[in-house]
């Protein structure tokens, strides 16, 4: 039956995720063990081994932090969320991160604020993930990224645009797969979470990107009156 099929699909998705998590955690653990063994054998402290070990610990920490967010129980009571207030708060939090990589976040909101029935911190997480990716895509050279809103009939469209590295079509197709990352310190969990959260809010997410030119992420969410 259909229900059985959905259940088995879910189980296999859980299995895939578990396998991915195990793999992602085992790599830094293996390297930690290796460097520790080397230090034990040589019986001397080695600065560069310690540096690698520290970065592997940091990597483990960031994987676990992201997984914890993912596993947090969802509060089911949705509230009216002001999109402009939310976007302003998120941009404010990320302004300093943008500045550190020589970027700025430009805001271009429609005049009238719009309300979405949703969970405030989840919607925040969506835009934090997308804006972080945009900042990271522009690298240390930096650039200008824009967060804009458009009012459609029953929807609000939020556009996060950057002029960063862009993505090839093969990568765009796979966005949202757990642990898919091209970054040395990436977790590849951000977009999986983002896609899920947008789905819970009955919205959609579309990427348009060109390598070397930049990326546009368009989120649509149903509006509440
Ligand atoms: P992470 O940021 O940890 O790598 P994400 O799930 O947030 O994981 O993103 C997955 C991958 O998608 C990134 O590693 C990157 O290759 C690509 N990506 C996402 N957003 C952008 C963007 N705005 N510009 C270029 N590439 C992007
Ligand atoms: Mg990310």
Q: What is the pLDDT of residue 10?
A: 65
Sign of CA pseudo-dihedral 44, 48, 49, 54: positive
Residue minimizing CA distance to atom 23 of ligand 1: 134
Q: How confident is the model at residue 30 (pLDDT cuts 50, 70, 90)?
A: very high
Distance 130 CA to ligand 2 centre (A): 7
CA distance 207 to 5: 29
Nearest listed ligand to the Cα of residue 176: 1
Q: How confident is the model at residue 157 (pLDDT cuts 50, 70, 90)?
A: very high
Are residues 35 and 52 in contact, defined by beta-carbon separation less than 8 angstroms? yes
Look over the chain and give the mean of its residue pLDDT values, rounded to a whole number.
90
30: Cβ below 6 Å to ligand 1? no
More confident: 163 or 187: 163
Q: What is the pLDDT of residue 4?
A: 66
Residue minimizing CA distance to atom 21 of ligand 1: 133
Mean pLDDT of 203-219: 97
Q: What is the pLDDT of residue 77?
A: 79
CA distance 219 to 131: 12
Q: Which two tokens stand for residue 20?
A: 């991915």
Q: How confident is the model at residue 19 (pLDDT cuts 50, 70, 90)?
A: confident
What's the burial of 132, exposed, middle or buried (CB within 10 Å: 0-12/13-18/19+)? Answer: middle
Q: What is the pLDDT of residue 193?
A: 87
ipTM over 0.90: yes
Sign of CA pseudo-dihedral 132, 137, 138, 144: negative
Q: What is the pLDDT of residue 178?
A: 85
65: Cβ below 6 Å to ligand 1? no
Distance 142 CA to ligand 2 centre (A): 17
175: Cβ below 6 Å to ligand 1? yes
Q: What is the pLDDT of residue 68?
A: 78
This prediction has a pTM of 0.81
190: Cβ below 6 Å to ligand 1? yes
The CA radius of gyration of the chain, in Å to the nearest whole number, is 20
Per cent of the chain over pLDDT 70 is 91
Q: Check pLDDT > 80 for residue 138.
A: yes
Strand partners, 215: 162, 209
215: Cβ below 6 Å to ligand 1? yes
Are residues 147 and 106 in contact, defined by beta-carbon separation less than 8 angstroms? yes
Residues 175-183: contacts with CB within 8 Å, 24+ apart? 175/207, 178/16, 178/17, 178/20, 178/21, 179/20, 179/23, 179/24, 183/136
pLDDT tens-place string over residues 58-98: 989 888 887 877 766 666 678 999 999 999 999 999 999 99
Mean pLDDT of 13-17: 72
Are residues 159 and 216 in contact, defined by beta-carbon separation less than 8 angstroms? yes
Q: By mean pLDDT, which of 20-34, 77-91, 122-136 is the weakest?
A: 20-34
Q: Check pLDDT > 90 for residue 6.
A: no
Distance 133 CA to ligand 1 centre (A): 5
Q: Which two tokens stand for residue 62?
A: 């960031």
Distance 136 CA to ligand 2 centre (A): 8
Distance 133 CA to ligand 2 centre (A): 5
Q: What is the pLDDT of residue 23?
A: 81
Mean pLDDT of 157-166: 98
């Amino acid at each position: 039956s259909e229900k059985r099929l959905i259940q088995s699909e879910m189980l296999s998705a859980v299995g895939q995720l578990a396998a991915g998590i195990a793999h992602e955690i085992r790599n830094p653990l293996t390297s930690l063990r290796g460097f520790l063994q080397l230090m034990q054998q040589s019986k001397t402290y080695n600065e560069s081994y310690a540096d690698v070990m520290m970065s592997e610990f940091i990597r483990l920490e960031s994987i676990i932090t992201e997984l914890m967010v993912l596993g947090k129980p969802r509060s089911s009571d949705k509230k009216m969320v002001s999109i402009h207030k939310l976007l302003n708060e998120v941009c404010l939090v990320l302004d300093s991160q943008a500045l550190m990589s020589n970027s700025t976040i430009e805001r271009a909101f429609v005049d009238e604020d719009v309300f979405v029935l949703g969970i405030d911190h989840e919607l925040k997480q969506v835009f934090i993930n997308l804006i972080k990716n945009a900042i990271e895509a522009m690298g240390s050279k930096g650039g200008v990224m824009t967060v804009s809103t458009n009012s459609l009939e029953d929807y609000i469209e939020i556009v996060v645009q950057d002029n960063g590295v862009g993505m090839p079509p093969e990568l765009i197709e796979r966005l949202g797969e757990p642990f898919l990352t091209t970054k040395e310190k990436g977790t590849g969990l951000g977009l999986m979470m983002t896609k899920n959260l947008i789905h819970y809010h009955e919205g959609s997410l579309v990427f348009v990107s060109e390598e070397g030119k930049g990326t546009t992420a368009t989120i649509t969410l149903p509006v509440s009156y």
